[in-house]
Structure 1
Amino acid sequence: MCAARKRGAGNSLAGFRRDAGDADANAARVPQGLIRTARKSGQLNLSGRELTEVPLHVWRINLDTPEEDQNLSFGAADRWWEQTDLTKLNLSSNKLLCISDDVKLLPALTVLDAHDNQLTSLPPALGSLENLQKLNMSHNKLKDIPVELMQLKHLRSLLLQHNELSHLPDEFGQLVSLEELNISNNNIANIPTSFAFLTSLVHLNLACNQLKSLPAEISSMKSLRQLDCTKNNLEAIPPELANMKSLEQLYLRRNKLCHLPVLPSCTFLKELHVGENQIEALSAEHLKHLNSLCVLELRDNKLKSLPDEITLLQGLERLDLSNNDISSLPYKLGNLSHLNFLALEGNPLRTIRRDVLQKGTQEIMKYLRSKIQDDVTSSNGELSVTAMTLPSQSKINMHAITALKTLDYSEKQVAVIPDEVFNAIGNNPVTTVNFSKNHLSEIPVRIVELKESACDINFGFNKLSSISLELCMLHKLAHLDVRNNSLTSLPDEMEALTRLQIINLAFNRFKIFPSVLYRIPTLEAILLGNNQVGSLDPLQIKNMDKLGTLDLQNNDLLQVPPELGNCFNLRTLLLEGNPFRTPRAAILAKGTVAVLEYLRSRIPT
Structure 2
Amino acid sequence: MAARGRRFGRPQPGFQAKKDEPAGVHASILKQARKSGQLNLSGRSLQTIPDTVWRINIDVPEEAKTVSMDADDKWWDQTDLTKLILASNLLTSISDDISNLPALSVLDVHDNQLESLPEALGGLENLQKLDVSRNKLKSIPSCIGKIQNLKSLHVENNQLDQLPEDLGNLLYLEDLDLSNNELTSLPCGIGGLSKILKLNVANNKLKSLPPEIATMNALRQIDANHNEISSLPAQLGTLTKLEQLYLRHNKLTVLPVLTDCISLKELHVGNNQISVMTAEHVSQLPAISVLDLRDNKLAKLPEEIAQLQALERLDVTNNDLPGLPYKLGTINTLKSIVVDGNPMKSIRRDIIMRGTQEIKKYLRSRIEEPTDGSGDSTTGVQSTEGQSGVIGGPKDGINAHEVCQFKSLDYSNKKCNHVPEEVWKVALEGEVTSINLSKNCFTELPEGVMLVSDHLKELNLGFNRLSSLHSDIGLYFKLTTLDLRNNQLTDLPSDMSSLKEMREIILSCNRLVKLPAVIFKFPKLEILFANDNKIESIDADGIKQLSCLATLDLQNNNIGQVPPELGLCKQIKSLQLSGNSFRIPRPAILAKGTNAILDFLKGRIAE
TM-score, length-scaled by structure 1: 0.60
Structure 1 residues 410 and 206: CA distance shift in structure 2, 3 A: farther
Give 2:228's aligned amino acid.
N
Alignment equivalent of 1:113, drawn from 87, 108, 112: 108
Structure 1 residues 329 and 62: CA distance shift in structure 2, 3 A: same
Displacement of 1:66 in angstroms is 1.4
Alignment equivalent of 1:288, drawn from 280, 283, 288: 283
Separation in structure 2 between the aligned mates of residue 382 and residue 340 of structure 1, nearest angstrom: 26
Report the counterpart of residue 59 of structure 2 in structure 1: 64
Alignment equivalent of 1:265, drawn from 260, 269, 273: 260
Separation in structure 1 between the aligned mates of residue 16 and residue 47 of structure 2, nearest angstrom: 22
Displacement of 1:413 in angstroms is 3.0
Alignment equivalent of 2:404, drawn from 386, 406, 413: 413
Give 2:355's aligned amino acid.
G
Give 1:197's aligned amino acid.
G
Matches within 5 A, 1:416-495: none
- Stretch moving more, 354-363 or 175-184: 354-363
Displacement of 1:381 in angstroms is 8.5
Report the counterpart of residue 453 of structure 2 in structure 1: none
Displacement of 1:388 in angstroms is 5.7
Separation in structure 2 between the aligned mates of residue 12 and residue 223 of structure 1, nearest angstrom: 53
Q: Gaps spanning 5+ residues in structure 1: where?
A: 1-8, 18-23, 395-408, 415-437, 440-605
Separation in structure 2 between the aligned mates of residue 11 and residue 267 of structure 1, nearest angstrom: 68
Give 2:404's aligned amino acid.
Q
- CA offsets, 1:473-500, max 9 Å, x none? xxxxxxxxxxxxxxxxxxxxxxxxxxxx
SS at match of 2:209: coil
TM-score, length-scaled by structure 2: 0.60
Contact 2:237–2:257 under 8 Å retained in 1: yes
Separation in structure 2 between the aligned mates of residue 230 and residue 219 of structure 1, nearest angstrom: 19
Contact 1:308–1:332 under 8 Å retained in 2: yes
Separation in structure 1 between the aligned mates of residue 297 and residue 234 of structure 2, nearest angstrom: 22
Structure 1 residues 387 and 379: CA distance shift in structure 2, 3 A: closer
Structure 1 residues 143 and 380: CA distance shift in structure 2, 3 A: farther
SS at match of 2:130: strand
Displacement of 1:69 in angstroms is 2.0
Separation in structure 2 between the aligned mates of residue 382 and residue 125 of structure 1, nearest angstrom: 70
Structure 1 residues 196 and 378: CA distance shift in structure 2, 3 A: farther
SS at match of 2:301: coil
Give 2:343's aligned amino acid.
P
Contact 1:228–1:250 under 8 Å retained in 2: yes
Displacement of 1:382 in angstroms is 4.6
SS at match of 1:28: coil
Give 1:330's aligned amino acid.
P
Contact 1:242–1:266 under 8 Å retained in 2: yes
Q: Does 1:345 align with 2:336?
A: no
Alignment equivalent of 1:365, drawn from 337, 345, 360: 360
Give 2:284's aligned amino acid.
H
Contact 2:156–2:177 under 8 Å retained in 1: yes
* Aligned Cα root-mean-square deviation (Å): 2.7
Structure 1 residues 391 and 232: CA distance shift in structure 2, 3 A: farther
Report the counterpart of residue 481 of structure 2 in structure 1: none
- CA offsets, 1:336-374, max 9 Å, x none? 1101111111111111111111111111112211222x3
Contact 1:12–1:60 under 8 Å retained in 2: no
Matches within 5 A, 1:31-110: 31-110=26-105
Matches within 5 A, 1:33-432: 33-372=28-367, 374=368, 376=370, 378=372, 382=376, 411=402, 413=404
Displacement of 1:83 in angstroms is 1.0
Separation in structure 1 between the aligned mates of residue 239 and residue 340 of structure 2, nearest angstrom: 33
SS at match of 2:213: helix
Give 2:137's aligned amino acid.
L
Structure 1 residues 381 and 128: CA distance shift in structure 2, 3 A: same
SS at match of 2:222: strand
Displacement of 1:196 in angstroms is 1.6
Separation in structure 1 between the aligned mates of residue 319 and residue 100 of structure 2, nearest angstrom: 58
Displacement of 1:209 in angstroms is 0.9
Contact 2:374–2:383 under 8 Å retained in 1: no
Displacement of 1:393 in angstroms is 6.2
Contact 2:162–2:184 under 8 Å retained in 1: yes
Contact 2:214–2:235 under 8 Å retained in 1: yes
Report the counterpart of residue 30 of structure 1 in structure 2: 25
Contact 1:121–1:144 under 8 Å retained in 2: yes
Separation in structure 1 between the aligned mates of residue 100 and residue 291 of structure 2, nearest angstrom: 50
Contact 1:331–1:375 under 8 Å retained in 2: no
Separation in structure 1 between the aligned mates of residue 275 and residue 28 of structure 2, nearest angstrom: 64
Q: Gaps spanning 5+ residues in structure 2: where?
A: 1-11, 391-399, 406-428, 431-607
Structure 1 residues 12 and 277: CA distance shift in structure 2, 3 A: farther
Contact 1:322–1:347 under 8 Å retained in 2: yes
Contact 2:296–2:319 under 8 Å retained in 1: yes
Contact 2:121–2:143 under 8 Å retained in 1: yes
Separation in structure 2 between the aligned mates of residue 193 and residue 257 of structure 1, nearest angstrom: 22
Displacement of 1:74 in angstroms is 4.8
Separation in structure 1 between the aligned mates of residue 313 and residue 106 of structure 2, nearest angstrom: 38
Give 1:61's aligned amino acid.
I
Separation in structure 2 between the aligned mates of residue 340 and residue 31 of structure 1, nearest angstrom: 56
Contact 1:13–1:57 under 8 Å retained in 2: no
- Stretch moving more, 272-281 or 166-175: 166-175
Displacement of 1:94 in angstroms is 0.9
Displacement of 1:70 in angstroms is 1.5
Displacement of 1:68 in angstroms is 2.1
Structure 1 residues 291 and 67: CA distance shift in structure 2, 3 A: same
Report the counterpart of residue 463 of structure 2 in structure 1: none
Separation in structure 2 between the aligned mates of residue 262 and residue 234 of structure 1, nearest angstrom: 16
